[in-house]
Copies of this chain bind each other. A is one copy, B any other.
């Protein structure tokens, strides 16, 4: 019981922003304002001396705990406030289990145990709650984790929205696994694990009452098996992993670029957006690169191992959109450049404001 790295330490904000005096929806959106909130409110309160010094312990999806015998555990928490509670391909319960499982997986950890706390609005039909709880158990079984601790609170009508769930996960990090933005190197390849934008569009389609032709379900899925196959094949070559939740692919790459002090060049033609998702995005005025996913991630890997790792990932059943989409370069640090199919290029910036509230 000796050491731990804090995942609050991930937060730096490069440029000062106008300060809001009250919380805005965009403070929860995964973009620039959320980083500012964490940088200015949470980080100063929770960090300790040494937490954020240089690249020794850069930001990550979960905190690392080192036990007395050297065993390393990953520890992570997430609140789920998705609206509506049910959507094509999933529900808040499945999301709450897989979301936390995936944060553990992004550390290369084997997910083991989960806790779940429920904040229920008075008046929620018992049958809805039962259905969501059963869905959590199914998701836990699918991900081979156990939900072993829980709590229930009830709030008055109009002080909630049916149900909010917070899950916290604990997993075991194998000895040879060292996955962190600190290990990203210029020349590394960027692998994208599948087509993007499906979760966000699945939510928006229900929320806005839209009927899309050939609508696709959310990509909501556990990622630990594909990660396990990768690290089993070549743990040293897997430098960093990041799932593409709030803020989508563009936000994940910007976070990594900032935290690892590197740049990315991404080839737009190698990013897959399925036609129904692309047309929904067009209709809603959304950029699929910023739309949330719940079963997709990027892997930053050694260039010489990239093709092999791609084959290993294909062997796990993912196929559509699984591609090497770009690479890491030393300069300009913090910048994500997107090369378009037409030979031009543009900077993929942070999301400003809120694109889609309460997506997870």
Q: A116 contacts which chain B residues (CB < 8 A)?
A: 77
Set B78, B124, B127, B147: member contacting A46, Cβ < 8 A = B147
Of the candidates B22, B24, B133, B153, the one whose C-beta lies within 8 Å of that of A45 is B133
Q: Which of B27, B67, B133, B160 contacts A152 (CB 8 A)?
A: B27
State whether B149 touches A48 (Cβ < 8 A).
no
Q: Are B357 and A156 in contact (CB under 8 A)?
A: yes
B interface footprint on A238-254 (CB within 8 Å = 1, 0 otherwise): 00000000000000000
Complex: how many Å from CA A164 to CA B120? Answer: 12
Contacts of A357 in B (CB 8 A): 154, 156
Q: Does A286 interact with chain B (Cβ within 8 Å)?
A: no
Q: From residue A265, how far is it (CB to closest CB) to chain B in Å?
A: 31
**Is B42 within 8 A of A133, CB to CB?**
yes
Which chain B residue lies CB-closest to A112? Answer: B1
Mask, A96-131, CB within 8 Å of B = 1, is 000000000000001011011111111111110110
Interface residues of A in 49-94 (CB under 8 A from B): 62-63, 65, 67-69, 71, 75-81, 83
Verify B25–A164 contact, CB threshold 8 A: no
Q: A6 contacts which of B146, B154, B358 (Cβ < 8 Å)? A: B146
With A28-B153, A38-B152 known to touch, is A67 a contact of B77 (CB < 8 Å)? no
- Please state if B122 and A75 are interface contacts (CB–CB under 8 Å): no
Counting every copy of the chain, the complex holds 2
Known A-B contacts A65-B113, A146-B4; A151 and B77 likewise in contact (beta carbons under 8 Å): yes
Number of chain A interface residues as a range: 35 or more
Tell me how far the C-beta of A352 lies from the nearest C-beta in chain B, rounded to whole angstroms. 16
| A346 interface contact, C-beta 8 A | no
- Among the 9-residue stretches A165-173, A229-237, A268-276, A312-320, the one with 4 or more Cβ atoms under 8 Å from chain B is A165-173
* In contact, A155 and B81 (Cβ under 8 angstroms): yes
Q: Given that A77-B115, A146-B4, A161-B159 are known contacts, is A23 also in contact with B151, CB under 8 Å in the complex?
A: no
**Which of A62, A75, A115 counts the most chain B CB atoms within 10 A?**
A115
Binary flags per residue of A11-45, CB closer than 8 Å to B gives 1, else 0:
00000000111111111110000100110011001
Instruction: With CB as the reference atom, state the residue of chain B lying closest to A152.
Output: B28
> Which chain B residue lies CB-closest to A140?
B46
Q: Which residues of chain B are near A161, meaning CB under 8 Å?
A: 155-156, 159-160
In the complex, whether A137 has a CB less than 8 A from a CB of chain B is: yes
Q: A186 contacts the other chain (Cβ, under 8 Å)? A: no
Residues of B within 8 A of A152 (CB): 27-28, 34, 37-38, 42, 79
Whether the Cβ atoms of B115 and A168 lie closer than 8 Å is: yes
- A sample of 13 cross-chain residue pairs with beta-carbon separation below 8 angstroms, ordered by A number, consists of A4-B148, A6-B147, A6-B148, A23-B122, A23-B124, A24-B154, A26-B154, A27-B152, A28-B153, A65-B170, A67-B71, A75-B149, A117-B168
Instruction: Given A62-B149, A81-B155, output 5 extra A-B contacts at Cβ < 8 Å.
Output: A27-B120, A28-B120, A34-B152, A41-B126, A76-B149
